[in-house]
Amino acid sequence: MTGWLDALIQGVLLGGLYALFAAGLSLMFGVMRLVNLAHGDIIVLAAFAILVVAGKLGLDPFVAVALAAPILFVIGFALQHVLLNRTLGRDLLPPLLVTFGLSIIIQNGLLQIFSADSQRLRSGAIETASIPLGGGIAIGVVPLLTLLSAIAVIVVLNMIFYRTPIGRAFRATSDDLEVAELMGIDISRIFATAMGLAFVVIAIAALYLGLRANFDPTIGPARLLYAFEAVIIGGLGSFWGTLAGGVVLGLAQTIGARIDPEWQILAGHLAFLVVLALRPRGLFPRAQD
C-alpha cells in the first residue's frame, strides 16, 4: 500500500517537471501557432548553459538561472525576430523544417563541445534532502521544488496573459493576426516577446532537468515528446491544462514503473493514447480552439 501511495506522490511531483517542459511549448503554440521541434534540445542547451555558467563563476545553479534568465529572454527574442518569424505564415511546413534543423544543429553542436558524457547540475545538500511524511514515505526537496516552480510558472504566465497589456496583445494576436495588425500591434515584436518569455520558462525547466537527473546532448527529443504529450493531454491553449497533462503523464509513468520498472515510459505513452482516443481535444480544451 505504502508503495502505491509513494508512486502516486512521486508521479505528481514528476508531473511538475513535465509541466515545466510543456509550459514553454504551450506558450509558443498558443501565441504564434509555432510547433517547436527543437524544444527539447533547447531545454538541454539551457541545461548546459547553466552548467557552464555555474561552473565558471562558481555559482549555485539556482543563482545561475536567475542570472541567465534575462540573457535567455534576449536570445529567445532574437531567435524569433531574426529566424522564426520568417518561417511563420499560411504554410505549416517551414517552421517544422526550421525547428527540426535547429534540433539537429543543437544536438550535434553540444556533442561536439561537451562530448556524449552525462552531466549533472550540482547544488550541494539540497539535491538529496527530503522531507519525511511518515509511514515510510518521504518526498525529495528538489522534486517538490520542481512542482512548486511549475505551479508558480503557470500562475505567473496566467497573470501575464490575463492581467497585462502585453498578455492582451498575445491573446488578440492568437485570435486574429491580421486584425491585430490593423489595431496597431506589431506582431513580429509580440511573437519575439512571447519567445523570450518561453526561453525564461525553458531556463527554469532546464534547471530541474539537470538537478533531478543526468543529462547528455541526445536526450532532447524525448523531453520534446513528454512536453508534447503533456500539452495534448491537458488540452491546447490552457496553462492549467498543461500542468494537469504533466501530472497525468507523471502519474502514468510512476504507476507503470511500480508494476514493472520496464513499463515506465510505455505506461506514459499508453496514457497519452487513451486520452487521445477518449478526449481528442484533451482534458481541459479552451472553448472553440
**164 vs 173: CA distance, rounded Å:** 14
Asked if residues 23 and 205 have their Cβ atoms less than 8 Å apart, the reply is: yes
As to burial, measured by CB atoms within 10 angstroms (0-12 exposed, 13-18 middle, 19+ buried), residue 209 is buried
> CB count, 10 Å around CB of 270?
13
**116 vs 271: CA distance, rounded Å:** 31
Closer Cβ to other proteins, 260 or 289, answer by number: 289
Backbone phi and psi for residue 137, each to the nearest 5 degrees, phi listed first: -105, 135
**Which of 25, 42, 187, 252 is in the footprint of other proteins by CB under 8 A?**
187
Q: Is 32 in the site for other proteins (CB under 8 A)?
A: no
First-to-last alpha carbon distance for the chain, in angstroms, is 41
Q: CB 273 → other proteins: shortest distance, Å?
A: 30
Q: CB 28 → other proteins: shortest distance, Å?
A: 18
Q: Is 168 in the site for other proteins (CB under 8 A)?
A: yes
Q: Is 281 in the site for other proteins (CB under 8 A)?
A: no
Q: Is 182 in the site for other proteins (CB under 8 A)?
A: yes
Closer Cβ to other proteins, 75 or 187, answer by number: 187
**Which of 175, 214, 260, 273 is in the footprint of other proteins by CB under 8 A?**
175
Q: Is 165 in the site for other proteins (CB under 8 A)?
A: yes
Per CB under 8 A, which region of 92-100, 176-184, 194-202, 242-250 contacts other proteins? 176-184
Asked if residues 212 and 16 have their Cβ atoms less than 8 Å apart, the reply is: no
What residues contact 124, with CB distance under 8 A and at least 6 apart? 60
Asked if residues 27 and 197 have their Cβ atoms less than 8 Å apart, the reply is: yes
**Which of 81, 120, 171, 269 is in the footprint of other proteins by CB under 8 A?**
171
**208 vs 273: CA distance, rounded Å:** 27
**205 vs 227: CA distance, rounded Å:** 11
Closer Cβ to other proteins, 26 or 146, answer by number: 26
Q: Is 186 in the site for other proteins (CB under 8 A)?
A: yes
Closer Cβ to other proteins, 4 or 162, answer by number: 162
Interface characters, 94-133, with other proteins (x: CB under 8 A): ----------------------------------------
Q: Is 90 in the site for other proteins (CB under 8 A)?
A: no
Q: Which residue has the cell 536567475?
A: 66
Contact footprint for other proteins (CB under 8 A) = 165, 168-169, 171-172, 175-176, 178-187, 286-288
